[in-house]
Structure 1
Amino acid sequence: MAEILRVVSGPTASRTTVIDLLSSVNVLSNFSAPAPRLRRSSVSSFQADGSVDAATAWDDRELAITFAVQGSSEDQAAFVSQILGRTFARPCWLEFQGGTSKPVFFRTRATTLDAVEDYGPSNPGVRLITVVVPADPFAYGLPETGTTTVSNDPTATDGMRFTITGVKGDVPAPVNLSLSFSAGANRMLVASSTHGALDHVSVLSDSTQTALWAANGYVATTVAGDSTAIGSSFRRFTGSTVNTPAATVNFSLSQQTILPGDYRIFLRAKSATTGVRIAIRNTATGALLDSGRELPTTGWQWIDFGVIRVPTSSRRATPWSPATTTTDTLAATALITAPSSSTVIDLDHVVFVPAPGGDEEDGRLLLGRWQRDGTPTVPQAQVDSVSESLWSPGAWDLNWSAAGGFPLVTPAATNLVVIMPWITSYDSKTVSTTVNWSYHPRYLTLRGD
């Protein structure tokens, strides 16, 4: 296959050629693109052997290109030199294919011609032109794409998550997501992880917990046959007497097999009474993590309780002691701040979303909300991880926060992507999200898979 070196409109299959840098007059004499250097910010002292990397980042790549100009006259050679000078004087997408089955693309920065050897006196029209071009660290491949549909029911096979495997490239790459909601959404969570999985468990109440609720004036029952509930059943706690103000009453979750780590906890709950608050803690007798969240009265909602270490006392994974799955019981405490004899608390399901930090080196978590008052709902959202932006048609004021950064996919790993949309006033397990994903492989070499 003939060598290709040209400036193109972008790294896509439908790219157009801006200028072809090779011709019968302009021949590629040498093309060198060594791998970028990994920069480290390391900390060391005499109190320990070796050093610890505080941060790492890939340095820019330098492309060394030599052209052999074989013009028929000095004017033609000068014209080719001018074209090359203009081309590299501004950033561009440079496509290179050196005999491999697929090309790679470099995002270059502006530079000047480094050397021009003119053989005009003895060989008119012959020149040797060398240019060293700074570029992004990686050679990018053509986009890899896929489409999937994600259910809002965590118990479904595709519930709230999907996986991307067989990721090409040498290093993690940002993954762009185009989301279409079957019902308009006003908030959403998007997370990516190579650690663990999306775990979920239904709420239960054993005899000990039921007694604690009863001591504070509540009766625990199981409501079955409810099509709006996850698994069609949930736990209901109903006030039977005058409830104790700020009562401490517990519920528990079944023994859950889970990979130890940091998880963002979401509880699906609702209440018929305004002012009921609930706070989650890790153990039945442990301290409260915060003052809790107020339960919605408009219908089921996923309530965000932030990041919790699960199991409570689990050690963090290290290269010497990788994490292994274990079982743990998560306990929760309900704080009743507006007690009355008619207080009703409905608790349905809990999901554990792997959170960035700690054991999760490649984890990312993104929370988005359209308009400050949460309206209107939108049918679509675009997660542009390359430019780190989130936008949606029709949303004039969009707020987002990202822990660890925007979603990534990692080669040689199973990449979990979690999608959780919220609709305006309640959550529905029948909502689905169509996801179109894409990423550009990032290569340290000129070509791999």
Structure 2
Amino acid sequence: MRKLTVVLLIAAAFASVPAQAIRCTVDEVPAATLLLPYFEVDFGKPNGVSTLLSINNASATAVLAHVVVWTDLSVPVLDFNIYLTGYDVQTISLRDLLTGWMPQTASAGQDPTDTISPKGAFSQDINFASCNGLLPPPNPLPPDFVSHLLLSLTGKPSPVFGGLCAGRDLGDNIARGYITVDTVSNCTLRFPGDPGYFLPGGTGDATNQNVLWGDYFYVDESQNYASGNPMVHIEASATDAQTSLPGQYTFYGRYVNWTAADNREPLATGFASRYVTHGTFSGGTDLIVWRDSKVNQGPFTCPVAPGTRPPWYPLGQEGIVIFDEAEHPQVPQTFPVSPQPPQASLLPFPAEAQRTAVGGAGLPVPFDFGWIYLNLNTLVTAAGNNPPEDPRAAQAWVTTEMKAMGRFSVGFDAVQLDSACQAVHFTPGP
């Protein structure tokens, strides 16, 4: 009986602590940063594709989370704070958010009646005085700013940016980009690239609390399909040499001058994913790809111009190999530098966030069924000799979506083949 009691006490102690994982292996454990690698909202169709996400607190301790909305070329266009009581859940519809409706949360000081962010029996609810006047945020946002969001996320010039652009204009009125979520110590209005947002050891605005988890969904009522995945969970550590020594590749490295002050583990650079273009999945396969240009990108003169604006666009890769299910390979010509030279004919993942159809113009394949090996490392000339430990390394994230239009779809993460902590510069071949 005594042994059983000891075992139960140990189990109870560990049950109250969020799970930890080995750094440089991105897995689904509570983290200090969440990445939604790609979102899309079709503003041409009220029932067209949209994106939903949730941000959750794995601990009993109340926390603040800072959300940043980025364009598909990595220009930040919106940031705001979310207060989470212990074990809290906050869901967000991107269609609502981008039309000006902000999620309503507030810490105890701004919510004395506990009606905006009510706490549960096991949850902490505290006051963040820095949130006075900021939480809950105003609803709706001013029309001029809502217009700025739509213009920026569809690649058109925005008056807020002085007539400059922030993303690609693909001509379909679909807002595209990605989202990051960081644990923070105060209601900050700084972006990750601003001084003071990151300081070593989590002493800036951003903290190293590995407590966030989340998921996201793509929903397209017009096509009768939906799919989802966990958010990308990025752990922080101020004691791991891979995430604390200057010169190491960290997730936000480009925003902290490669000092590792963000303490965030980087993502992988190589991936493997299956694909189908016929059969049951009649809608084919899409690869949803987030990439790191390694450049702190700001608004630029319209329109996007390959090789010029932005200076790293379009992104290249060290290698792609397309296999059928009998292991027959096809190796398309690729160039390992960014921006890609004018003679490059294969540009499947040129931006920082995109959806690419396997078998489409951007990624033609000779087989109906098979798998793809992706080595997404690239030397970005505009990034200089960075990251210092390996300038040819380039972190990325790949998810796969297979669709049977009008019936069902599935989504899953591609297999990671390495980590940017020690990038593998290998592509199968002779």
Q: What TM-score, normalized to structure 1? A: 0.23
Structure with the largest fraction of strand: 1
Relative contact order, higher structure (CA 8 A, sep 6+)? 1
Which structure would you say has the larger Rg? 1
Structure with the largest fraction of helix: 2
